[in-house]
Amino acid sequence: MKYLIYLFSVLLCLTIPLIGFAQTELTDSLTAVLENPSLGEKEKPALLNQLAEIYRTDKNYALAERKAGESARIALRKKDYIDAVKAYTLLVNIRTSARQLSSAKRTSDSTLTFAKKANDPVAMAYAYYAQVLVYKILDDAQNVVKFCGLALKQLEKKSDPYIASKIYYRLYAVYSGWNNEAKANLYASKATENVLLTTDYNHLSNCYTALSVAHEYNYNASKNKTELDSVLFYLKKSEMLYHQYPGHVANHTYAIACVDIASFYLRYFSPTDLQAKDQAMHYANTAISVLKGMDNSQEILASGLGILSEYAKRAADYGQQEAYLLQAYEVIKTGKPIYYYTMLNVVQALADFYEKKGDLKKAIDFQKEITTYTLKSFNEKQALNAQKLEIQYETEKKNNEMNLLKERELSHKRQNYLYGCVAVISFFGLLFMFRSYHFKLRYSLQLEKQLDLEKEDSALKVKLEQEEQARLKVEQQLLEAQQLQLKKEAMANVLQLEHKNQMLLQIKERLNDGDPVNMQKLWKEEMVLDSDFEDAKMQIQKVHPDFFSLINHKAGKKLSALDLKLCAYIYLKMDTRQIAQMMHIEAKSVRMSKYRIKQKLGLDKEEDLNVYLQEIGTV
């Protein structure tokens, strides 16, 4: 349960919107200003963008897209390409939030086109940030970092702290996911420094939360107690902004800050510290009350209820613990859409609760729900991955076509130039022929040159055909890469489904034998490496037969079975959170295991284990 609460707080910190205000007050005031007949069109795009962003943070994507689209149309009508780029960047943000991936990619390309027309560094920074949003939803962290770097280079020419803060915040999120404490701290600080130059207090609240997460990473690495003081300091600063600037910090942002504070007291203070308990319950209840009746707040509400259930458990008030967990279950179940990852955590907590209580029927019922929601989550991920692969393929295809078109255009220009030269030379040759017999020899030479040019033209055509064949070869390689990715996903599915099926078989066998089912014992037994991994190992070896032998050879045969299993998950491109969930251990344990594997493989501290294993897998 503690791990569940901590994971909720970190994920929410990384995924909250960057801009937002108290919806009722600001929406009404902005609408009134926009409806004022005396308002000129020049001022409308910025106000419409602000209103659209409020709707986006409230997850009213249809209305948000309508307002941002209106802003873009006004800006384009005025040929104000800078405002148009800002509106299009917001449209990309809206469509990525709504998981409209294909539409978001097309819009991001249009944003880059308008930014080039604007010929302004800030407009280019916005356009590159639109690309960042697309690659973020595609889980392509490398391209996120690349386009963030391009945007920051543009801002060196002309500063804009507002967009700079967003870019640094996105870099913080990437390096935080990569467990790079130094750069996570650096970019969280830079994001905060820039947002302090603006009046965006909602984003400032998010940046303070980012700093608290960065200091928590520092504490996990150094165990220095002063880092925990910094964590609480920045969480309190994030929470206080809601009261210091009424109407400028969104209720969702404030509720997340309260949940983070409550989670901090739960995780780092002694269970006997009654004052810490009172503070934690106060902030958890505050988060629940401030979001009461609001849509799209199920994850935050479930986090607050999870904290309250943990304190009820500590007080041995199991009836209240059950009530909180069931309330969280109903909150997530009635949400639209259902957040399957959060639901899986809540259902798992209920299954564990009823197993300890001795109510095996309910425990098994909730265990069945875990299987159901796992399958739904898997199907949802598969559908999203299909969209991602399609966009990646179309992007590569478009890039190759653009390169080919540029080469063809250059060839056509050369060809036209050569034809022009031939025409001019022929004209002067004829002129000289009619003027004097002595120019006949020169005319003959010009004809020879013309033949040479025609030969060169033929050579160019042959080159173009070769380039066309090269393009087809690249497309074939892209298809092969797509098939390889699908194979990796299939391997991941095998590991996950095999794990679930084995566990269900163990439960069934125990029930058939008439023995009482000890769910906690099954949980511990599941953590022990047994022959099941050999089956999953064989599935991987069918695709990459030398994978395990290569890494074991590199490590001098020091890798244990658990190490090999972890390497397999890393090679399948699972992140730390997914691996922890699959192996039922904490993310901290996954990171420590990665560190030990790097030592066994003889890697330097700066070398990336993920990249190393991917390179081995492609040998």
How far is residue 581's CA from residue 272's CA, in Å, rounded to a whole number?
Answer: 30
* Per-residue pLDDT reduced to its tens digit, 43-77: 889 889 888 887 887 778 889 999 999 999 999 99
DSSP tally for the chain: helices H, then strands E: 26, 0
In 357-478, the DSSP E strands lie at: none
Q: What pLDDT, on the 0 to 100 scale, is given for residue 588?
A: 87
Question: Which run of H or of E encompasses 385?
Answer: helix 360-435
How far is residue 26's CA from residue 109's CA, in Å, rounded to a whole number?
Answer: 31
Closest to 514 in 3D by CA, of 403, 360, 389, 398:
360
Q: Are 30 and 22 in contact (CB under 8 A)?
A: no
Phi/psi for 436 (5° steps) reads: -160, 145
Give the count of beta carbons closer than 10 Å to the beta carbon of residue 359.
14
Percent over 70 (pLDDT), the chain: 76
Q: Are 522 and 506 in contact (CB under 8 A)?
A: yes
Q: What pLDDT, on the 0 to 100 scale, is given for residue 229?
A: 92
Range 216-224 average pLDDT: 91
- Answer yes or no: is pLDDT of 368 > 70: yes
- Answer yes or no: is pLDDT of 383 > 80: no
Judged by average pLDDT, the poorest of 75-84, 160-169, 378-387, 419-428 is 378-387
- In the chain, the largest separation of any two C-alpha atoms, in whole Å, equals 117
Instruction: Return the higher-pLDDT residue of 469 and 384.
Output: 469
- Answer yes or no: is pLDDT of 579 > 70: yes
- Answer yes or no: is pLDDT of 17 > 60: no
Q: What pLDDT, on the 0 to 100 scale, is given for residue 153?
A: 96
**Quick one: tokens of 409?**
């255009």
Range among 220-224, 364-368, 533-537 with highest mean pLDDT value: 220-224
* Per-residue pLDDT reduced to its tens digit, 119-157: 999 999 999 999 999 999 888 899 999 999 999 999 999
**Quick one: tokens of 196?**
């302090």
Burial of 323 by CB count in 10 Å (0-12 exposed, 13-18 middle, 19+ buried)? Answer: middle
Q: What pLDDT, on the 0 to 100 scale, is given for residue 508?
A: 67
Q: Are 205 and 249 in contact (CB under 8 A)?
A: yes
- Answer yes or no: is pLDDT of 2 > 50: no
Judged by average pLDDT, the poorest of 14-28, 161-175, 200-214, 315-329 is 14-28
Percent over 90 (pLDDT), the chain: 30
Judged by average pLDDT, the poorest of 130-139, 152-161, 202-211, 335-344 is 335-344
Closest to 561 in 3D by CA, of 583, 546, 588:
583
Contacts of 209 (CB under 8 A, 6+ apart): 13, 16, 234, 235, 238, 256, 257, 260
Instruction: Return the higher-pLDDT residue of 531 and 221.
Output: 221
Q: What pLDDT, on the 0 to 100 scale, is given for residue 432?
A: 62
How far is residue 584's CA from residue 352's CA, in Å, rounded to a whole number?
Answer: 13
Instruction: Return the higher-pLDDT residue of 123 and 32.
Output: 123
- Answer yes or no: is pLDDT of 19 > 60: no
Burial of 610 by CB count in 10 Å (0-12 exposed, 13-18 middle, 19+ buried)? Answer: middle
Q: Would you say how long the chain is, in residues?
A: 619
- Which residue type is seen at 8? F
SS (H, E, C) 514-547: CCCCCHHHHHHHHCCCCCHHHHHHHHHHHHCCCH
Q: What pLDDT, on the 0 to 100 scale, is given for residue 175?
A: 93
Residue 529: band (very low, low, confident or very high) from pLDDT cuts 50, 70, 90? very low
- Answer yes or no: is pLDDT of 385 > 50: yes
* Per-residue pLDDT reduced to its tens digit, 68-105: 999 999 999 999 999 999 999 999 999 988 888 888 88
Q: What pLDDT, on the 0 to 100 scale, is given for residue 398?
A: 64
Q: CA separation (Å) from 267 to 1, 4, 31, 144, 261? A: 11, 11, 44, 32, 10
How far is residue 436's CA from residue 496's CA, in Å, rounded to a whole number?
Answer: 90
Q: What pLDDT, on the 0 to 100 scale, is given for residue 282?
A: 94
Q: Torsion angle of alpha carbons 14, 17, 19, 23, nearest 10°?
A: -140
- My answer on whether omega of the bond before 545 falls inside 30° of 0, hence cis, is no
How far is residue 127's CA from residue 172's CA, in Å, rounded to a whole number?
Answer: 19
Burial of 160 by CB count in 10 Å (0-12 exposed, 13-18 middle, 19+ buried)? Answer: buried
Instruction: Return the higher-pLDDT residue of 503 and 563.
Output: 563
Q: What pLDDT, on the 0 to 100 scale, is given for residue 598?
A: 87
Residue 192: band (very low, low, confident or very high) from pLDDT cuts 50, 70, 90? very high
Range 191-195 average pLDDT: 95
Q: Are 167 and 132 in contact (CB under 8 A)?
A: yes
Closest to 265 in 3D by CA, of 302, 304, 299, 320:
304
Residue 532: band (very low, low, confident or very high) from pLDDT cuts 50, 70, 90? very low
Q: What pLDDT, on the 0 to 100 scale, is given for residue 434?
A: 64
Judged by average pLDDT, the poorest of 360-364, 379-383, 600-604 is 379-383
What mean pLDDT is reported for the chain?
80
How far is residue 237's CA from residue 205's CA, in Å, rounded to a whole number?
Answer: 7
